[in-house]
Structure 1
Amino acid sequence: MDRLTATPAGVTLGPLELIPDGTARNFVLEMRAGRFHGFVVRKGGRVFGYVDRCAHMPVPLTQALDAYLTPDATHIQCSWHGALYTLEEGRCVGGPCVGARLLPWPVTTIDGMIVTVGEEQA
């Protein structure tokens, strides 16, 4: 089964409370075309979604479930090679791939629910 890098718009992932502020959560979606692995970071009332794949090498970012953030929750961190990414843009600011970006997974909140959006809506 192929690993996908996008999902359709309108997929409800769950309530915002599913992700405590300052943390991230992994999501795996089974679709006809394959399986999607992504994660959502919550910062206050805002959410940022990314494909779970390091920009340095095509491996998942974490070796432990939902452990995407640095201990102080200021950056996304690859547990394999130490790359550090900004929460808001997924831009690498430290490690082996400075300047590269994580693949975005457009998500938003609607009526307290985390929902995927289309690229044109992001």
Structure 2
Amino acid sequence: MPAICKDSDLQEGQSRGFELDGHSFFIVRQQGTLYAYRNHCPHLGVNLEWMPDQFLDSDGRLIQCAMHGALFLIESGYCVSGPCTGQSLTPLPCEVRDDDIWIEL
């Protein structure tokens, strides 16, 4: 489980993408909790972001696929709108230790 960034580098309501050892993933902080997912849309298999570190819709309430607009719940990765409705993003375990965010790939 490698450390990927400082906990203080990810503010409330922000998302951030990472590439590590051939894996693409992102983290979102919502209401003080970290959520990590593989950066892979279940519909087309493409990366989700439309710009670097931009994984959320305009309201910052849902994860949005830039390719076709599918919307996913931040808390579970479950798709609530779009061509992959009913499918989910792949979650990754993460935790904060000594102001570092650690991820399990």
Give the shorter-chain TM-score range: over 0.9
Deviations 1:11-38 (A, max 9, x none): 11121111121010001113xxxx1100
Unaligned segments of structure 1, at least 5 residues: 1-9
TM-score (norm 1): 0.80
Match of 1:81 among 68, 77, 81: 68
Alignment partner, residue 28 of structure 2: 41
Are the aligned partners of 1:46 and 1:108 in contact in 2 as well (CA < 8 Å)? no
The list of structure 1 runs, each at least 4 consecutive aligned residues, that deviate by more than 2 angstroms after superposition, is none
In 1, the alpha carbon distance for the partners of 2:96 and 2:31 equals 12
What is the aligned counterpart of 2:4 among 13, 18, 23? 13
Among 25, 36, 41, the residue aligned to 2:16: 25
- Take 1:43 and 1:110, find their aligned partners in 2: how far apart are those partners? 18
Q: What is the deviation of 1:110?
A: 2.0
TM-score in terms of structure 2 length: 0.92
Contact 1:76 1:87 in 2 (8 A): yes
Amino acid at match of 2:11: P
Unaligned runs of 5+ in 2: none
Q: Which has the larger radius of gyration?
A: 1
How many angstroms does 1:75 deviate by?
A: 0.3
> CA RMSD, aligned part only?
1.3
1:11 partner letter: P
Q: Give the deviation of 1:117 after TM superposition.
A: 3.8
Distance in 2 separating the partners of 1:116 and 1:62: 19
For 2:87 and 2:59, how far apart are their aligned partners in 1? 22
Percent of aligned pairs with the same residue?
A: 34
